[in-house]
Every structure is written in C-alpha cells, then in structure tokens.
Amino acid sequence: MRKIKIGHIITRLIIGGAQENTIFTAEGFKKKGYDVTLISGPPLGPEGSLIEETKKKGLKVLIIPELRREINPFLDTKAFIKLYFIIKKEKYSIIHTHSSKAGVLGRIAASVVSHKFLYIMLQSMTRHFHVGGRPPNGVPPAFLRKQEGGGLLTPKREGASPSPTLSALKYLFSPGKLFQLQHTKLVRRRIIIVHTIHGLPFHPHQNRVLNLIYVNLERFCSLFTDKIICVGKIMKEKAWAARLGNKKKFVVIHSGFEVEKYTNPQIEPEKERKRWGLDVNNIVIGNVGRLFPLKGQEYLLEILGDIKKVFPDVKLLLVGEGILRQTLEKKAENLGLKDAIIFTGLLPPEQIPKVISIFDLLVHTSLREGLPKTVAQGLAAGKPVVVFDVDGAKEIIINEKTGYLVPAKDTDNLRHTIIKALRNKEKSIIMAKEGQKLVKKLFPVEVMVDKIEEVYQELCGA
C-alpha cells in the first residue's frame, strides 16, 4: 500500500515557535509511517537555522531560494511556479501550509494543481448565473430571485434581463453541469489542503493598508482550504471576526513541544548558573524571545532599576538574538544597568530547557503572540511567570492561579507584579505547579500530532 504523502510548506526554517511546531509535526507523522517532506525558503535572518537539525531527524527537506518572508512580486512568482511543479511532480495527498507567505503561495499552488482553484472560481460564478429551482452548494437563496413567468433563478439585481449569451452561461454553470465537470475533466486529483495559523498576519500594530491586503488574501485562500488549524482559541475567534472562512473549517490544536525536556531538564543548575556568570545569591528574571520589534524587552529594561532597589542581586537574562540587540545594549548602558543584564545571544532549541531551569521568574512582554509557547515552556519547567495579557496568553495563564497577567505596556503594573511574584515565592511556585499540570495535558507533541492526524483522516474520508 502506498504511503500517504504529505507536503509541509513553511516560509523559513529558523529558530522559532512556528518552525519548531512544523518540524515536530513532520517528525511525528514520519514516525507514524507517512511519507513527509518539508518545503521551505532559505533561513535568512539573525534567528538561526533549523535546516541541519531537520535533516538530522531524517526528514526530507526541499529549499526554494525564492520563497522569502518579504513581499517581492518577482521572487514570489518564481516561488509560486516552483511550488506548483513540486506539488504536481510529487503527487502529495495532503498539503499543509504554515506561516503567511507560504500559506498563500502554497495553498494557491496546490489548488491550481488539483484544479480546485478553477472549480471554486466556476462555483463562485453560480452566484450570478444558474438554472433550476435549487441554488448550488454554498450559495444562500437570499442571493437569488425567481424570474417572472418561469423557474429561472437569476442574480438578485433590479433591471436584469436575460440574454442569449447570459442564458448559455447560466446553463454552462448550472449545478448539474458543474457537478459533471467536477467529476470528469475538471478535478484532476484531490489534494487535501490544510493551513495552520500560528499567528495572524494582520494586527493593530501594523499599517492599515497591509492589514487590509492580508485579510483579503486570507479570505481568498480559505475558499480552497479544507481545514484551518489555529494554535489557540483566541486565534480562532479573531479569524472568525475577520471572516476568514466558514466556522466549520476551523479547529484548535495547541502547538506542541517536548514537555518532558522542561519538566526534567537533566542538568546541574550550579553549572548552568556558572556558565552565565551567576552566583547562588542572584535572583534571575528571564525573558526568552527574538530581539525584534513588538517583543517588548524594552519594557523590562525600563523597570529593572526599580526592581534592583528592592532586590539588589537581581539579574535579567535575555535569551535570544535579533536586530534590536545593539539598541537594547545601548539602552541598558544609558540606564546604568549594563552589569545587571546578560545577553545570551542565539541559543539552539536544545539549550532552552537548560537556561529556563535557572530562572526564578519568567517574564513575557511580547505585544503580539498567537499562543506564547515560551510561557508554556516556563510552566512546564515549574517556573512562575508574569505575562502581558495579549492574544492567547489567558488560555494558559489564569491570573493568580497559574501565573500573573499584566495589561500590555503597563510598566507600573509590570514592576509591581514582578516584585510581588518574587516576594511571594512560595505562592508563585504553587501557581506554577498548577500551570504545569495544564501544560502537561495540552502541549505534548504526541497530543498535537494525534489531533492533526484526526483532522487528516476526517478529510480523507470526506
């Protein structure tokens, strides 16, 4: 029996939550016996590459040099053409896209290969022309009205009069003819198309014109997407609110990670602290994330001086790399906090559980997140967490029960909450243990892969 072939398409295989999720998914399905390929653009940027790690796992990787994160009509067209021919040649049963650029190009390419794109376009035309007493699937009767003197259904528009050409089009695009086309020459081969929303491409911190473009692209691509997976309930609600597709298409599957590596990191804490120049008296506040706009590390720097007045031995460990590193280093120097802040630089994923294990408190200040996986990782390690209340944060942080939620950008509240969490260490750890129970239930890789497989099986049997 031929293995089911799955093609996962993602814009970049860099160090990041969406990328790790995609690799875990592909690896999980490979272990289950599926034929899996990862298709990606080059790992450009300061975040670090995951391509070699992916290959070490025995996964097939195809790199399309023209597939880039930035909008570039010339490169995007070349990437689309290459995706089309790869999908056509490899005869994938399932195309699963991740991230915005890959999601748009990959879904359209797969739909063109299977002729689903053409069928959707023809089907959409039946909103304007068709015959018979029943509208085609998906077309609300309210769009149509009956023509006087006959059973012909025509567009609900005043002054519309039938013509010979229009009558011919109505016949060609009637439900019966479309059905006949769909099951003979029109649909070459069924390809199931799935898309995962790790984070919506539109958000309040972005230009309105760009937001409008992204919203409409997502709406268009949802027409030929069989299922849309959201990594959190908030993502699903926002997608619904933006009318990105039929509610039945959406399902929530949390982004899994290797939970056991955080619950039992297998390290010597004293050795790890020494690695970063920390002694036994230092209180460690940790932040894990790219040093990029909207990640919010600057808010921590602004309040660190006040926290040091209460806890003189406090140290801030910023784990990550990015374009804002020099800016943040300069800000720390201007604030007189150079010796209180440690920039770890880029760390490979396998070192993240080790460094989190020495945190006394994890603080997440990002202004935009789908579901903050770093917070889930901190809870998995049993660490108290303080989090800006954005997007999916409240799905894993129940304020004062599994952690502390703080209004975004509210530095006064952030300072007060961090001091409270450090002063009430015993209570904070109890809360973290409650959060750990939730994470163990929702975030194991195996749970995520099993739920995605259920989606695939449902669609394959449809």
pLDDT band at residue 368 under the 50/70/90 scheme = confident
pLDDT digits (tens, 9 = 90+) for 30-48: 999 999 999 999 998 878 8
Residue 102 confidence (pLDDT) above 90: yes
pLDDT given at position 209: 87
Residues 99 and 218 in one domain: yes
pLDDT digits (tens, 9 = 90+) for 69-82: 888 999 999 999 99
pLDDT given at position 388: 96
Averaged pLDDT for residues 247-269:
91
Residues 251 and 343 in one domain: no
Residues 282 and 333 in one domain: yes
Averaged pLDDT for residues 15-33:
92
Residues 107 and 122 in one domain: no
The highest-confidence range among 62-66, 114-118, 207-211, by mean pLDDT, is 62-66
Residues 375 and 313 in one domain: yes
* 135 or 261, greater pLDDT: 261
Residues 181 and 128 in one domain: yes
Averaged pLDDT for residues 306-333:
96
Residues 415 and 346 in one domain: yes
pLDDT digits (tens, 9 = 90+) for 422-440: 999 999 999 999 999 999 9
pLDDT digits (tens, 9 = 90+) for 279-317: 989 999 999 999 999 999 999 999 999 999 999 999 999
Residues 214 and 306 in one domain: no
Q: What is the pTM of this model?
A: 0.80
Residues 280 and 334 in one domain: yes
Residues 383 and 290 in one domain: yes
Last residue of a domain, one of 140, 171, 186: 186
pLDDT given at position 1: 45
pLDDT band at residue 117 under the 50/70/90 scheme = low
Residue 413 confidence (pLDDT) above 50: yes
Averaged pLDDT for residues 247-254:
92
Q: Which domain holds residue 73?
A: 5-114+188-256+445-460
pLDDT given at position 240: 87
370 neighbors 197 (Cβ within 8 angstroms): yes
* 182 or 244, greater pLDDT: 244
pLDDT digits (tens, 9 = 90+) for 345-362: 999 888 999 999 999 999
Count of structural domains, the chain? 3
Residue 231 confidence (pLDDT) above 50: yes
pLDDT given at position 121: 61
pLDDT band at residue 207 under the 50/70/90 scheme = confident
CATH code assigned at 300: 3.40.50.2000
Q: Per residue, what are the HEC states of the chain?
A: CCCCEEEEEEEECECCHHHHHHHHHHHHHHHCCCEEEEEEECCCCCCCECHHHHHHCCCEEEECCCCCCCCCHHHHHHHHHHHHHHHHHHCCCEEEEECHHHHHHHHHHHHHHCCHHHHHHHHHHCCCCCCCCCCCCCCCHHHEEECCCCCCEEECCCCCCCCHHHHHHHHHCCHHHHHHHHHHHHCCCCCEEEEEECCCCCCCCCCHHHHHHHHHHHHHHHCCCCEEEECCHHHHHHHHHCCCCCHHHEEECCCCECCHHHHCCCCCHHHHHHHCCCCCCCEEEEEECCCCCCCCHHHHHHHHHHHHHHCCCEEEEEEECCCCHHHHHHHHHHCCCHHHEEEEECCCHHHHHHHHCCCCEEEECCCCCCCCHHHHHHHHCCCCEEEECCHHHHHCCCECCCEEEECCCCHHHHHHHHHHHHHCHHHHHHHHHHHHHHHHHHCEHHHHHHHHHHHHHHHHCC
Residue 94, amino acid: I
Residue 384 confidence (pLDDT) above 60: yes
Residues 65 and 131 in one domain: no
pLDDT band at residue 370 under the 50/70/90 scheme = confident
Residue 185 confidence (pLDDT) above 50: no
pLDDT given at position 432: 96
Residue 247 confidence (pLDDT) above 50: yes
Averaged pLDDT for residues 5-34:
93
Last residue of a domain, one of 186, 212, 236: 186
Residues 39 and 70 in one domain: yes
Last residue of a domain, one of 150, 167, 186: 186
